[in-house]
Amino acid sequence: MEISKVMSKVFLWMFLGLVVTFGTGYYVSTQENMLYNIFSNNMYFFLIIAEFVLVIVLSARVRKMNPMTAKIMFLLYSFVTGLTFASIFVAFALESIMFVFLITAILFGMFVLFGHFTKLDLTKISTFLLMGLIGIIICIIVNYFIGSETFDIVISCISVVIFLGFTAYDIQKIKLLSYNFENEDNLAIIGALELYLDFINIFLDLLRLFGKSND
C-alpha cells in the first residue's frame, strides 16, 4: 500500500469521528429533554457500556469486517461517545473547550510528525506505555474513593504524556501495517480509531487541567 494514501484516509476518518463526537456533544448539550433523558437515569451508564462494547468489537473484528461495516461501527462509536460528551459542554465554557481543543491539536500534530519521521523503533516503548496506562487506570479507580484533587492533577499530567507517546507509536505502527495489511479501508479505520482515542484522551486530560467551568 502507498503510505501517503493510507495516512490520508486514516486522518480523514479520524477527523470525521471527531466531528461526529463534538458535534453530537454540543447539540445534545443544547437540548434539555435529551440531557434529562441521558443524565437523570441509567442511560448514561448504558452509553458508557455501549462505548466499551463497540470499541472492543471494532478493535477485535475490524480485520475481518466488510469495510462499510467497519466504517459504520466507527461512526456509531463516535456518535455514542458524543452523547456522553454533552456533559463536557454543560460543565465547561465553550471558549475553554475550543482553546483546549486547539492545544490538543497542536500537541497531537507534533507527536504525529515525530512518529512519522523518527528513525527510532517505538515498539520498544510500547510495553512501558501499556504499563503506564494500566497504572493510570488503577490510580483513577483509587482516586475515585480518595477524591484528591492534587492526585487527579498528577494523574492527568502523566496521562497526557502516555497518550502523546501512544500517538507517536500508533503512527509508526500504522506505517508498518501498511506493508502487509490486506484491506486499505479497514486499515484506515483501525488507524483512525487508535488516533481518535489518543486525541480524545489527551483532550480530556488537558480539559481537566486547564478547562474553565461554565459558571
pLDDT in tens, 121-145: 888 888 899 898 898 989 888 888 8
CA neighbor of 38 nearest in space, from 86, 107, 89, 97: 86
- Please say whether the beta carbons of 171 and 122 come within 8 A: no
How high does pLDDT run on average in the chain?
89
| pTM for the predicted model, two decimal places | 0.92
How far apart are the C-alpha atoms of 212 and 215, rounded to whole Å?
Answer: 9
Q: Looking at the chain, list the stretches that DSSP marks H as alpha helix, in order from N- to C-terminal side.
A: 3-29, 32-39, 43-61, 67-91, 94-117, 123-146, 149-177, 184-210
Percent of the chain at pLDDT > 70 equals 99
Secondary structure (3-state) at 175: helix
How far apart are the C-alpha atoms of 93 and 98, rounded to whole Å?
Answer: 9
- Please say whether the beta carbons of 14 and 71 come within 8 A: no
Residue 188, φ and ψ in degrees, nearest 5: -60, -40
Secondary structure (3-state) at 213: strand
Beta bridge partners of 92: 213
**Looking at per-residue confidence, does 108 or 213 come out higher?**
108
Give, to the nearest 10 degrees, the angle between helix 184-210 and helix 43-61: 140
Residue 176, φ and ψ in degrees, nearest 5: -65, -40
Which pLDDT tens digit goes with each residue over 175-192? 888 777 777 888 899 999
